[in-house]
Structure 1
């Protein structure tokens, strides 16, 4: 709590409330941010509450697949956070020493999340960050299951901290691929609620009777990540094919969209299902 409060005080003096006063932005970057804000306000000015958009969040299969992703990436995160001191005890450390030895891996976790956020934002390859981080964690868990050396096993806990990258990446990946604001708000609520289910079972992943190796617990987390990989890949592929379809549609000259012709819907209510200009929604697959 003290650390969090300390960073809050630092942020009060370092962060700026407006792009115009952000000393860490160049003049060109300030201009880009201001233009983006104006475009966002212009887009939302024409939006209104739409029950149809909210219902579409519940009927979109991708919302529930995202829920599966969040459950399977949150179970390992919660289980490691809750049980790491106990697991470190299995490496030969006891009492206060075990608690202290459980802290350094989180320092690396803090650094790699910052680096992953920067590279993901710079290069826009969210899916690649997602996959790479999961693969690293799976490899680390396999080593923890099979290697006897206490030093090697302790080092593997540093690599397990890559588990925070998929969580942070998915927040952006999900939010960037749902339109409009009504559907996005509903979808985010559904997915985050489903993800928190992971917390209800995480306390049973590293059971006391499985000490000191916790092979079963590591195996459960590996299975969760395997499911997350398959589900994430399916989402990536669906966004990729949707974008290709939208790109083809953008090259066609149409006066009314196919959806509007068939269903008589307001194009504004189509959100991320709209494929024709000027309302087509470009998702971010990577």
Structure 2
């Protein structure tokens, strides 16, 4: 490499490897929109049902499930937590297994059909033990779903395009929480004489999930090339693949890349951020109906519908934050900024007694519940290469981050004030904020160092490899 390259030459060279100007911008936009319309509504809908089937137990409790099944508050927390005993272990193996399938739609549709049936059969639960068994099965079949669709998405998009696409998934999750609240409101009015009102939650949502499986089975393409129909699209796609070369890497399974994902500081920071943000996400989304009812004194009906605007606002905030994150090619500072609002919200929940102020605090927490989790997921996806290192890093991020799903119900065990739960979540958001800023600073330093290597031709970084995200040409999103 020449040592006489100017600063501008280096910047052009780095940019040419990452995301240069496409040969035909209008044609590329049309192709990307085609990917969006084919994949995003389907993936978002399936994630909607995944979130709905996982979190609807909170609405069922408020509607009387705990009384009918004879479970205590402590047992309910255990029922919520036990799902993650099977949910977490299958995340990383599930991604590897899915990538071995030539037609991933068979794997994903089968997975979704199984968890939908688990949700549907929950209406027959009549005891603590039966609820435990169904939640364990639900976790087993749902565990690797989000990791799988995150991996598939990286096969279609540039790193800086992932924030918005991940936002679609989490926006659907916010709709699931809001929709669950609306159903919870409606079922309190149902009195058929045949089923207890809470059972209609599992009946309605389980049937809808089963129907959605058909869309996934027939709608998911085997790979991006299956969507290419014209010569123009083929040329644009080939141009995108050439420009994504450092990111996508066509090599096969390499155990060295898998090991490097475990030791990469980016992965470590990502896991910490994911864990702490998921504490907020799982604790808030599962226990909000109970917080509104027992912590603020609202009725069962009010606790159901007052959560709806909270979740809708959370989804809108994440969509806006993800759009800014992609345009600015910035992740960590966005997470830190939105966490300021969440931290303020939890301080208010702990410090004040007025129910109106506490309800306002829930809207402040909206800034944190989806934004940090989703942007962090796109962050590790954007900054990890080659592909099997990326697949592994995504799986690690989801596996260890989702341990929080088992922990958050254990700290939310003391109604009506849930002091321990709120305090623990507050501390987690502070840790996430610090880690996000530290990781951004680290990646910025690596970008500066990489540029100096390209300018001087002297690689003094003392790295064991110079491929993928360790190549000096790789530019990190901070």
TM-score norm. by structure 2 comes to: 0.49
- Cα distance in 1 between the residues matched to 2:246 and 2:278: 36
Instruction: Pick from 423, 445, 469 the counterpart of residue 219 of structure 1.
Output: 423
- Cα distance in 1 between the residues matched to 2:341 and 2:332: 14
- 1:204 corresponds in structure 2 to 410
In structure 2, the gaps of 5 or more residues are 1-48, 50-204
- Cα distance change, pair 19–114 in 1 and its aligned pair in 2 (3 A): farther
Instruction: Pick from 31, 34, 39 the counterpart of residue 243 of structure 2.
Output: 39
Instruction: Pick from 461, 470, 477 the counterpart of residue 273 of structure 1.
Output: 470
Question: Aligned pair 1:60/2:60, yes or no?
Answer: no
The number of residue pairs the alignment matches comes to: 264
- Cα distance in 2 between the residues matched to 1:110 and 1:79: 17
- Superposition pairs for residues 239-250 of structure 1, below 5 Å? 239-250=443-454
Find the residue that maps to 1:148 and give its secondary structure: coil
Q: How much has 1:46 moved relative to structure 2?
A: 5.1
Question: Aligned pair 1:139/2:344, yes or no?
Answer: yes
Question: Aligned pair 1:92/2:297, yes or no?
Answer: yes
- Mapped contact 2:258–2:389 kept (Cα < 8 A): yes
TM-score norm. by structure 1 comes to: 0.79
- Cα distance change, pair 43–144 in 1 and its aligned pair in 2 (3 A): closer
- Mapped contact 1:179–1:281 kept (Cα < 8 A): no
- Superposition pairs for residues 123-138 of structure 1, below 5 Å? 123-138=328-343
- 2:477 corresponds in structure 1 to 284
- Mapped contact 1:54–1:186 kept (Cα < 8 A): yes
Q: How much has 1:47 moved relative to structure 2?
A: 2.6
Q: How much has 1:266 moved relative to structure 2?
A: 6.8
- Cα distance in 2 between the residues matched to 1:87 and 1:133: 22
- Cα distance in 1 between the residues matched to 2:439 and 2:291: 34
- Cα distance in 1 between the residues matched to 2:373 and 2:235: 31
Find the residue that maps to 1:281 and give its secondary structure: coil
- Cα distance in 1 between the residues matched to 2:469 and 2:246: 18
- Cα distance in 1 between the residues matched to 2:397 and 2:247: 25
- Cα distance change, pair 193–201 in 1 and its aligned pair in 2 (3 A): same
Q: How much has 1:44 moved relative to structure 2?
A: 4.5
- Superposition pairs for residues 138-157 of structure 1, below 5 Å? 138-157=343-362
- Cα distance change, pair 20–232 in 1 and its aligned pair in 2 (3 A): farther
CA RMSD of aligned residues (A): 3.3
Find the residue that maps to 2:416 and give its secondary structure: coil
Question: Which piece of structure 1 moves more, 80-89 or 45-54?
Answer: 45-54
- Cα distance in 2 between the residues matched to 1:66 and 1:44: 20
- Cα distance in 2 between the residues matched to 1:42 and 1:54: 17
